[in-house]
Amino acid sequence: MLLRKKVCAALIVAILFLMLASHSIQRRHFLPLSLTLPIIQATPTNWERTCGCIESCISDFGGSNWFQQRYDKTQEPVLRTNSIMDPDALKWWLVHLQQSGNDRTPEDVMAEMFKVIPSPTVDFRPLTSRCHTCAVVGNSGRLRQSGNGKIIDSHDSVIRMNKAVTRGFAKDVGNRTTHHFLYPESAVDVDHGVSLVLLPFKLRDIEWLTSALSTGKVKMTYMRVKDRVAADKNKILVVNPVFFKYVNDHWTERHGRYPSTGMLAIIFALHICDQVSVFGYGADEQGNWHHYWEENRYAGAFRKTGVHSAEFETQIIHNLAKEGKIRLYL
């Protein structure tokens, strides 16, 4: 009986010794929980997302170093009365894009414009209470017979550009438009409730917008242009000239003289939307484009991108899809 008690006591001592030894090893080889938390937080979780989307948000950086190196969330994509513009970026915009030989200062031209249209009050910052989806619809002939119309129209915002048409093509391109990107040489009337988004490739383009909404006196840029345009003044947006240089430096990396309308529209969408789908983009190996509404693709339908690098821009678009930042429909 005495022997049995001694054996039990010895076993208890051995178990206590092993427990203490194990605890000592853990203290030596594992960091305290409070120190390991930053490592866990490096991978975004649902409650850390900047928007209300179930899958992902564009403004979430997790998982793509390539995207982090290019995307600058501090950029202001639209011009406002209180916009602070970097002088070097503004100079680049005035000199490097389409010079208009204008002697007026940008400040004077912009101040005159904001007498005709109000400064935008829309807030593009993401909210955890919503998931703002956007479709950016290009004009490539690839849209013909695509059957993507319903998918396009299902997005919260639908961005179209230049002389895009929907009548007769709704099955493939949809019929909703919330934002229409254009410049004087590609101007069309915009339906009430749609945001006309001006891409000012030169100072003269801002003068044209002011005139087209008021006096109609500007009838020429480097070519004859539409002297008046129908649009909802309260919804007009003008892309910030500084944004052009941001896209040129960070995204197209100075390939071509400056970015194309299509490229600017996609990067613009990355800054105002939580999720972006892209439709109707594509060029041939010569950088030519075929518009989906043109019947004969050889009779003026192909347009050389010229000052743009179609090949490099296509590569960027495919990289955005590969990194999970856009959904690309080909």
Binding site members: 98, 139, 162, 222, 258, 262, 282, 291, 308
Q: Which residues are annotated as a binding site for substrate?
A: 98, 139, 162, 222, 258, 262, 282, 291, 308
CA dihedral 206, 212, 217, 218 (to 10 degrees): 40
H/E stretch holding 296 reads none
What secondary structure does DSSP assign to 189-239, as a single string?
A: ---TTSEEEE--SSHHHHHHHHHHTTT----BSSSB--S-----GGG-EEB
Distance, CA of 237 to CA of 91 (rounded, Å)? 21
Q: Which residues contact 188 (CB under 8 A, 6 or more apart)?
A: 162, 163, 180, 182, 226, 229
Amino acid at 38: P
Q: Which helix (H) or strand (E) holds 181?
A: strand 179-182
> How many angstroms separate the Cα of 295 from the Cα of each of 93, 205, 284?
36, 31, 17
Q: Is 220 exposed, middle or buried (0-12, 13-18, 19+ CB in 10 A)?
A: exposed
- Taking the C-alpha atoms of residue 245 and residue 311, their distance in angstroms, rounded to an integer, is 19
- What lies within 8 Å, CB to CB, of 241 at 6+ separation is 79, 85, 89, 90, 93, 94, 106, 200
Contact criterion met (CB below 8 Å) for 210 and 112: yes
Catalytic: which of 71, 258, 281, 292?
258
Is 290 a known active-site residue?
no
Determine the Cα angle at 89 with ends 88 and 90, to 5°: 90
Q: Is 23 a catalytic residue?
A: no
Determine the Cα angle at 31 with ends 30 and 37, to 5°: 130
Residue 289 near residue 161 (C-beta atoms within 8 A): no
Residues labelled catalytic: 258, 308
